[in-house]
Structure 1
Amino acid sequence: MTLPEGTTAASLANRTGRPVTTYQSAVCAETGEFDTYPGGGSWVPRSPYQVRAFKLWEH
């Protein structure tokens, strides 16, 4: 899911219970930086890059 145009995120919390991958790319491309965070309590107070998109994974 791409964040709305002009919006980025610099921190995140994953309390979904499912893994979430954040992307530097606005189209979830793996050509920029990306990281996957486990569900159920991941907290990233400062991302190493501006997050422009994310994927919520199934178990």
Structure 2
Amino acid sequence: MNHIKPKWHTVREVAAMLGYGLSKTKLLVASGQIKSIKDGGNRRVLPEWVDEYIARRIEEAA
């Protein structure tokens, strides 16, 4: 079976990926800590933007 890899994620998917609650993730997106674009009425996040956020968190913790 062919699996299609998404090119971008919803805020809900990002929350699940990070193990964060939806409210916390929405706040991170709204504040620009996790980059996103507006697509219609929804926010979308590229996979590399999630990686950038994680890398920044690791740097801050070091």
> How high is the TM-score relative to the length of structure 2?
0.28
> How high is the TM-score relative to the length of structure 1?
0.29
Q: Comparing both structures, which one devotes a greater share of its residues to helix?
A: 2
Q: Higher relative CO (CA 8 A, sep ≥ 6), structure 1 or 2?
A: 1
